[in-house]
Amino acid sequence: MSTFLSPREILDKLVGFPTVSRDSNLPLVDWVEEYLAGHGIEAHRWTDPDQPHKAALFAHVGPWQEGAVVLSGHTDVVPVDGQNWSSDPFTVTERDGKLFGRGTADMKGYDALAIWALVEAQRSGVKRPLQLALSFDEELGCTGAPPMIQAMQPVLPKGRAVIVGEPSMLRAVTGHKGGQGLHTHVIGHEVHSSMLHKGVNAIMASAPLIQWVNDTNAANMAKDPAPLAAMFDPPFTTAHIGVISGGTAHNITAKDCEFGVSFRVVPGEDPQKYLEAYTARVREVEADMQAIHPDARIELTPWFRVPALTPEEEGAAEALVRQLTGDNASHVVSYGTEAGQFQEAGYSAVVCGPGDIAQAHQPDEFITLAQFEAGQDFMARLVARLQEEN
Ligand SMILES: [Zn+2]
């Protein structure tokens, strides 16, 4: 019989694995698998054939039947490169009522509580099932969850209500914007800049596309928001370019310019319409470039896609979380999560986890002890509910 670890002990273990998204998460997954196995819980893995150094893990506890509550978290964390930390980011350090460490808020705090809850459910013997789903590559644009959700379906009985534990201060978040990104590679034609009329400068050709992004934001800002959009801050879809690179020298027309355009789309709006409008502008700019030199072109590559979380009418996940937290207000957030992906796959889904998103991705990331303990109470109430018949 294995020892029962406290949520805090599990958190110490999880934070100790430096599962930055670019690196392997297998040591963490191995540990979770072994810990669950020690308590008689069989875990299943999904490994990305293109990234054999990463795996998702899912498990089921309780009667082998549909209708489980699914606790969903991601195992990866953002890098600490260039950040100034007061203590080792990969060791949980307690100071002033706070637990510091990379991922304590986003979201190994919740992962630890979920693992604890699964073992508690197994130990106490629940009448209704509980599932755990731990993904990877969330911080790279939520790319790990969709194949994990697909892989879960034939292996586990279908779950009903998914609680995605991104930090929400344990409030029930029922809506978030969707995200969609397109990578743009503008390929120009190099000449000496003294002869620029014969060349195509990829940087200068990008300017109208960047202007399209500005114009799109201005137009959306000027609109009266639809009721679903009005819940958000800002209450409209936004477009953004966060990184751009290009050019060789001040006296050469730039051969290349690359940037990503990302959209945060309010529920109720079709992300596709933004992609199509942007693509149409790209093709106009490309035609202007090719009028100067036929080799010039613009390549668009899909980058990421995270569906919005749309508030559900009488959603099972929302109702459950409201019962567990007593929070009856409506909350939406402007960041994307895996909840929209579970919802798209037919699950009822809500975001609710301990900690504050304001601490996510920061140097000296922390979760307060009070939030972590409130998270444990939340899980204890959940396990108690699962011990009741329906
Ligand atoms: Zn997160």
| Spatial separation of the C-alpha atoms in residues 312 and 346, rounded to whole Å | 12
Kindly report, residue by residue over 226-251, the tens digit of the pLDDT: 988 999 989 999 999 999 999 999 99
Residue 106 CA to ligand 1 centre (angstroms): 4
**Contact between residue 165 and residue 353 where contact means Cβ atoms under 8 Å apart:** yes
Kindly report, residue by residue over 200-220, the tens digit of the pLDDT: 999 999 999 999 999 999 999
Residue 43 CA to ligand 1 centre (angstroms): 22
Q: Does 1 score more than 60 pLDDT? A: no
DSSP-based helix, strand, coil % in the chain, nearest 5 = 35, 25, 35
pTM: 0.87
Residue 142 CA to ligand 1 centre (angstroms): 9
CA 145: distance to chain centroid? 9
Per the rule left: phi > 0, alpha: psi between -120 and 50, beta: everything else, 345 is alpha
Kindly report, residue by residue over 35-56, the tens digit of the pLDDT: 999 999 999 999 999 999 999 9
Mean pLDDT within 125-138: 96
Mean pLDDT within 313-322: 94
Residue 166 CA to ligand 1 centre (angstroms): 5
Cα atoms in the 13 Å half-sphere on the side-chain side of 174: 20
- The pLDDT assigned to 126 comes to 96
| Spatial separation of the C-alpha atoms in residues 242 and 258, rounded to whole Å | 11
Kindly report, residue by residue over 148-185, the tens digit of the pLDDT: 999 999 999 999 999 999 999 999 999 999 999 999 99
Q: What distance, in Å, lies between the first and last C-alpha atoms of the chain?
A: 30
Q: Does 343 score more than 80 pLDDT? A: yes
Mean pLDDT within 108-129: 97
Residue 285 CA to ligand 1 centre (angstroms): 37
As residues whose CB is below 5 A from the ion ligand 1, the structure lists 106-107, 166
Strands 130-135 and 51-61: antiparallel
Q: In the structure encoding, which two tokens stand for residue 265, read together?
A: 């789309």
| Spatial separation of the C-alpha atoms in residues 81 and 353, rounded to whole Å | 26
Per the rule left: phi > 0, alpha: psi between -120 and 50, beta: everything else, 78 is beta
